[in-house]
Chains A and B, each alone.
Chain A
Amino acid sequence: MPDSLATVDWARAQFALTAMYHWIFVPLTLGLSFLCAFFESIYVKTGNEEWKKLTKFWMTLFGINFAIGVATGIIMEFEFGTNWSNYSWMVGDIFGAPLAVEGIFAFFIEATFFAVMFFGWNRVSQKFHLFATWMVAIGSNLSALWILVANGWMQFPIGMAFNPDTARFEMQDIMAVIMSPFAIGKFTHATSSGFVLASLFVVGISSLFLLQNRHQRMARRSMAVAAVFGLLSSLFLALTGDEAAYNVAQKQPMKLAAMEGLYVGTENAPVVAFGIVNSTKRPGDDAPAFYQEVKVPGLLSLLANREFGSYVPGIDDLAFGNPERRIVGAAARMERGKIAVAELANYKAARKNGDEAAAATALARFQEHQADLGYGHLAKPADAAPPVATTFYSFHIMVILGTLFPLLFLLVLFYTAKGTIEYQRWLNSINIFALFLGYIAGMAGWVVAEVGRQPWAIQDLLPVHVAATRLAPGNVQTTFFIFLTLFTVLLVAEIRIMLKQINIGPEA
């Protein structure tokens, strides 16, 4: 048993490593592809060759990022089959075909239009080249659709039914899956975070040029476009973030409670603007949640329910229940979940023995309790709570940085419009640093989304320790360190090639 637990934790670490490495490349691809399309559109509109040169420069950096990042997502699919075989089997009917179709679609769009974008400058008409660049941008972003829909489904599983004979979730309503508020929220929030990161990338590198007194005209032009795109995207990002938090409050209240370190539910619930989490606190004990905290009263109620003064449940309410507020806690759901697990076992045994009457009875009882299936695998109510400190800090880092970025873009626009951006050395230095903050904000967002929904692989239905394959921990450890080495080498390679190209500048 301890081996299985160690395996689960190594498998989680490996998946987190792979996903985070993948997310270094994805957001830049999503956003920079659109920025290239904007730059080229201006070139086609104005006919000014400097815009063409500028477009080609950013396109080269886009190509480097794309090439190093390509196929890193496939590694996660390897991991599904090996480390997460139970999960993989159970969701295969829902995700298998759409992800394959998406892969083929993305491959053909990218293979066709990518080549035109890079090789076709003097071979196709200006307008067709521009069309190809836009298609790469649209195709790259669409290729993120299904994986984000899949992630949304894991957070809020709808539009499916569990087949107890095959042990698989089967798609019942594809539109419910695609149009789920979580799917839409994931897609809009993740892609717009990519737009913000790419804007920070262009602004940051342009600032570097300004600080070095190189390519000043190109840098100013790039910054102006990227700052507008970044400002609009970061405002949209804030809107989609607010919507995501509302959805979390409605469907994953435990995650929201962890995001704010709220243990005891309350009306007029506060947002903790700043806090040092008491990491020794556990659900149900009397220890304080924070060593130090600065609260903004009522804001969490507004965020969660869009109503000042409304009640927001805390971790203790959700773990142990709160009859006064009619909150069914994990403790009660565990009882129902254990019935679901037992009846599923009874159904399996009855089917094996050919006792159809007993199978029908067990199936009816299972279906009555299956909404709490996952809780049947928890050992105690506190296991339904995610790691609070990690979720809290990640959420606050993401929100603080997400608030700073639009201000930064505004400043860049102000000084660009004023024509003095090249003299603002302090701002240009911050812009370079902000690129790294952009990556941290994006990663922190994913930590909130994924750590915050623990212990679930599929919300309420499948905890991660059941989703995982029972392997010897050594197997997963070995591949974890292989990946760590491989990813580090590839990242160093990318940074070196990228820096070399930036150093050469648009003259290349």
Chain B
Amino acid sequence: MRGLLFRTYAMYRDGFAAMTVGRRLWCIIALKLFVMFAVLKLFFFPNYLEHNFSSDADRAAHVLGEITAQPMPRADRQP
């Protein structure tokens, strides 16, 4: 079991160390994930209902309010 774990670890270690194309790719992946989770998600994409309502009952009431509101005319359609 120990041998298997070490061989698995060694495969990842040597694999990463020997990467050529992969290094640049990992940089892109890391940068992309950072921008997505640490910038976009944090600052631009709050969960609207989580953020504005404190309980599921309030969230349900809000959504029920939305789906029982009066119909809106569509601006992009001609009469």
Contacts and interface: CB of A to CB of B under 8 A. Distances in A.
A binds B: yes
Contacts of A90: 63, 67
Nearest to A124: B11
A115 B15 contact: yes
B78 interface: yes
B11 A344 contact: no
Contact of A63 (B25, B32, B44): B25
Given A75-B36, A479-B40, A493-B28, A81 B74 contact: no
Nearest to B28: A493
B71 A376 contact: yes
Given A5-B76, A119-B14, A482-B44, A68 B25 contact: yes
A354 interface: no
Contacts of A68: 25, 28-29
Interface stretch (A162-170, A186-194, A240-248, A292-300): A162-170
Interface string B50-74: 1000001001110110111101111
A79 B45 contact: yes
Given A4-B72, A5-B74, A81-B50, A348 B11 contact: no
Interface residues of A, number: 67
Contact of B72 (A79, A282, A377): A377
A78 B45 contact: yes
B20 to A, nearest CB: 7
A63 B22 contact: yes
A453 to B, nearest CB: 15
Interface stretch (A135-143, A325-333, A462-470): A462-470
A440 B28 CA distance: 26
Given A345-B68, A462-B67, A383 B12 contact: no
Contact of B45 (A60, A470, A479): A479
Interface string A153-183: 0000000000011111000000000000000
Contacts of A74: 36
Interface in B1-58: 7, 10-12, 14-16, 18, 20-22, 24-26, 28-29, 32-33, 35-36, 40-41, 44-50, 56
Contacts of B68: 341-342, 344-345, 348
Nearest to A85: B48
A403 B20 CA distance: 40
A501 B28 contact: no
Name, among A5, A85, A123, the residue most crowded by chain B CB atoms within 10 Å (CB to CB): A85
A79 B45 CA distance: 7
Contact of A119 (B11, B63, B69): B11
A358 to B, nearest CB: 15
Contacts of B33: 71
Contact of B35 (A115, A120, A486): A486
A168 B62 CA distance: 12
Given A81-B50, A168-B60, A63 B35 contact: no
A496 to B, nearest CB: 10
A106 B47 CA distance: 24
Interface string A469-492: 111000100110010001000100
A462 B71 CA distance: 12
B40 to A, nearest CB: 7
A383 B64 contact: no
B77 A465 contact: no
A379 interface: yes
Interface string A264-297: 0000000000000000001000000000000000
A108 to B, nearest CB: 14
A490 B64 contact: no
B46 A82 contact: yes
Contacts of A81: 45-50
A362 to B, nearest CB: 11
A118 interface: yes
A86 B45 CA distance: 15
Contact of A64 (B21, B49, B61): B21
A9 B64 CA distance: 22
Contacts of A462: 67
Nearest to A282: B78
Given A82-B48, A490-B28, A508 B15 contact: no
Nearest 5 A-B pairs (CB), nearest first? A119-B15, A81-B47, A78-B45, A85-B48, A345-B68
Interface of A: 1-2, 4-5, 9, 60, 63-64, 67-68, 70-71, 74-75, 78-79, 81-82, 85-86, 88-90, 115-116, 118-120, 123-124, 164-168, 282, 338, 341-342, 344-345, 348, 373, 376-380, 382-383, 455, 462, 465-466, 469-471, 475, 478-479, 482, 486, 490, 493, 497, 501, 508
6 contacts: A68-B25, A86-B63, A89-B60, A377-B72, A382-B77, A383-B74
Interface of B: 7, 10-12, 14-16, 18, 20-22, 24-26, 28-29, 32-33, 35-36, 40-41, 44-50, 56, 59-61, 63-64, 66-69, 71-79
